[in-house]
Amino acid sequence: MNLATNKTIIRDATENDAKEILDLVRELAIYEKAEDQVTATVEDYQKSLKSHKIFCKLAEIEGKVVGIALYYETFSTWRGLMYYLEDFVVKKAYRGHGIGQLLMDAYIDEAKKAGAVLVKWQVLDWNEPAVNFYQKMGATIEKEWWNVKMFL
């Protein structure tokens, strides 16, 4: 049975969805062996959703949030308007039914509607299922750039 075709609703998140979003972010962090690094709060998500600093597409089945694509607008100085996908996760029990593709399509559609010329995200090199999914979509995986960050 293809859950995505039969039962999935993709919708925009609101600040009222902050707890469910954070729960899925934590699930992703556990999968990535980095649960202790999640320090954002429900209030952080509420504030950022309300002020449109972040956007999120939710996948729901029978009223239950089963996946997210959380993103924001940014700007590529070489290309122009860009949408950056910060987190993309489908609950383990719901994977393999096309829900991830529905979320990714919704994210890309939003970027196109906004006039973005590029969408971008990261994937861990050991996350083979994700790498395969992105390659199947036709995405380019850049391996020459290193991540740089500084906590404030």
pLDDT tops 80 at residue 3: no
Q: Which two tokens stand for residue 25?
A: 């972010």
pLDDT exceeding 70 applies to what percent of the chain? 96
Residues 91 and 11: their CA atoms lie apart, in Å, by 16
Indicate the fold that domain 3-137 takes in CATH: Aminopeptidase (3.40.630)
Query: Among 30-39, 67-76, 80-89, 124-133, which stretch is predicted with the lowest mean pLDDT?
Result: 124-133
Residues 16 and 107: their CA atoms lie apart, in Å, by 20
Active-site residue, 134 included: yes
Residue 2: pLDDT band with limits 50, 70, 90: low
Name the residue type at position 33: K
pLDDT tops 80 at residue 133: yes
The pLDDT of residue 147: 81
Which one from 31, 94, 107, 134 is the annotated catalytic residue?
Answer: 134
Q: What is the rounded average pLDDT of the residues 59-87?
A: 97
Grouping H, G, I as helix, E, B as strand and the rest as coil, residue 44 is helix
The pLDDT of residue 151: 83
The pLDDT of residue 1: 42
The pTM of the whole model exceeds 0.75: yes
